[in-house]
């Protein structure tokens, strides 16, 4: 457990974030197609190679989360991704859930699957070099949802996943995401986020999961995208910390927020405001889209534009590092870079 506690502390260290580049094959294909890039295995591989080999990435990221396909692929120089990441000073993470599927008896709600055979898969991933894993549960806010049935099913699965990770010597990133899509208010997001968190930690306690060897990856508390509610970063930060302060035990290794579809700039601005608040746990970022979207757009699937894609990723990682230091200035966003 000592090694896992150390890994968890590394993942949430105050001067690094975690890069989430673990989109499933179908999600990645959608993102490639939307960027005008053919949805092919080689493009998914080349895109991830561009990301992880970004110069100086390990100065801004402690680790990178990949999906099963990438974990088994190789860089052009022949090294397997986890092996190359170790050389680059990055911890290798693996998404191990198999996606959200309709939850029986709960129309419109999902439960994240992937527990069957997970013990064996985790053992294999550990052998391939995984230091940490990720499992994402998704909750939509709507009329009468999320239901207690869905909250209980998803948080129970997260606790079983966390327990199995520890058995395999892998640090679990525990990700309960309350989606920002919809007309719900900031208050509703806050109430649902706190209720999901409370249920999650009750399940984790029941499973006797060592909290100093897990990383919580939640949403920030924001109003729904169609709510029309204008909320500034200080209110978002205050409401986010409020939602978690009586819910997340102090022993928890730390919190790494997801971006959830916020613009790169909004995510960095909100993170900077969050870091200004004193909290019992370390706070950092584990963004996907808010880090990689500009890189994908700059790259365009063109081998001749790899350096442009890497500059775009370096820029967004550096913006969020500035946010961690409390000194992010959106007006200067373009000037930030790693190294």
In the chain the first and final C-alpha atoms are separated, in Å, by: 34
Q: Has 109 been annotated as catalytic?
A: no
Q: Has 217 been annotated as catalytic?
A: yes
Binding-site member from 37, 67, 213, 258 for ligand 13P (CB under 6 A)? 258
Map tokens 């309709």 to a residue: 102
290 touches ligand 13P by CB under 6 A: yes
Query: Burial level of 148, CB count in 10 A (0-12/13-18/19+)?
Result: exposed
* Residue window 7-36: x/- pattern of binding to ligand 13P, with contact defined by CB under 6 A: -------------x----------------
301 touches ligand 13P by CB under 6 A: no
| Long-range contact set of residues 32-36: C-beta below 8 Å, sequence gap at least 24 | 32/296, 32/301, 35/296, 35/297, 35/300, 35/301, 36/300, 36/301
* Residue window 234-253: x/- pattern of binding to ligand 13P, with contact defined by CB under 6 A: --------------------
Binding piece for ligand 13P, criterion CB under 6 A, among 86-94, 230-238, 281-289, 304-312: 281-289
Footprint (CB under 6 A) of ligand 13P, residues 117-136: 136
Catalytic residue among 23, 49, 109, 175: 175
Footprint (CB under 6 A) of ligand 13P, residues 138-197: 175
Residue 94 CB, nearest approach to ligand 13P (Å): 12
CB 166 within 8 A of CB 215: no
Strand partners, 177: 138
Binding piece for ligand 13P, criterion CB under 6 A, among 106-114, 241-249, 286-294, 331-339: 286-294
Residue 239 CB, nearest approach to ligand 13P (Å): 18
Residue 95 CB, nearest approach to ligand 13P (Å): 8
288 touches ligand 13P by CB under 6 A: yes
Q: Which helix (H) or strand (E) holds 94?
A: strand 91-95
> Nearest-CA neighbor of 133 among 297, 30, 286?
286
In degrees, rounded to 5, the angle at the alpha carbon of residue 268 between the alpha carbons of residues 264 and 271 is 140
In degrees, rounded to 5, the angle at the alpha carbon of residue 241 between the alpha carbons of residues 237 and 247 is 155
63 touches ligand 13P by CB under 6 A: no
Q: How many residues bind ligand 13P (CB under 6 A)?
A: 10
Sign of the torsion formed by the C-alpha atoms of 194, 200, 203 and 209: negative
Nearer to ligand 13P, 79 or 333 (CB): 333
Catalytic residue among 217, 226, 235, 245: 217
Map tokens 């990383």 to a residue: 215
In the complex, the residues that contact ligand 13P under the rule CB under 6 A are 20, 136, 175, 258-260, 287-290
């Amino acid at each position: 457990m000592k090694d896992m506690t150390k890994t968890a502390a590394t993942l949430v260290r105050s001067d690094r974030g975690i890069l989430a580049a673990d989109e499933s094959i179908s999600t990645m294909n959608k993102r490639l197609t939307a960027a005008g890039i053919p949805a092919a295995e080689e493009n998914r591989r080349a895109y991830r190679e561009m990301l992880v080999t970004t110069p100086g990435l390990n100065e801004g990221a402690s680790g990178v989360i990949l999906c099963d396909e990438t974990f088994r692929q190789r860089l052009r120089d022949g090294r397997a991704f986890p092996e190359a990441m170790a050389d680059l000073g990055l911890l290798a993470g693996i998404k191990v859930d198999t996606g959200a599927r309709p939850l029986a008896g709960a129309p419109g709600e999902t439960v994240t699957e992937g527990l069957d055979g997970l013990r064996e898969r985790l053992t294999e991933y550990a052998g391939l070099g995984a230091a940490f894993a990720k499992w994402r549960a998704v909750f939509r806010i709507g009329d009468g949802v999320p239901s207690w049935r869905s909250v209980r099913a998803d948080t129970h699965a997260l606790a079983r996943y966390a327990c199995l990770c520890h058995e395999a010597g892998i640090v679990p990133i525990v990700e309960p995401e309350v989606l920002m899509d919809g007309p719900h208010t900031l208050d509703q997001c806050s109430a649902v986020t706190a209720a999901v968190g409370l249920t999650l930690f009750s399940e984790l306690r029941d499973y006797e999961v060592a909290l100093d060897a897990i990383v919580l990856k939640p949403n920030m508390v924001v109003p729904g995208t169609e709510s029309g509610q204008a909320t500034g970063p200080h209110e978002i930060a205050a409401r986010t910390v409020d939602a978690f302060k009586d819910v997340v035990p102090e022993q928890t290794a730390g919190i790494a927020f997801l971006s959830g579809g916020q613009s790169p700039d909004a995510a960095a601005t909100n993170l900077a405001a969050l870091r200004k608040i004193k909290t019992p746990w370390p706070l950092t970022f584990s963004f996907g889209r808010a880090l990689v979207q500009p890189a994908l757009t700059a790259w365009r699937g063109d081998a001749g534009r790899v350096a442009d894609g890497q500059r775009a990723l370096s820029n967004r990682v550096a913006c969020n590092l500035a946010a961690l230091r409390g000194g992010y200035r959106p007006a200067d966003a373009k000037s930030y870079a790693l190294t």
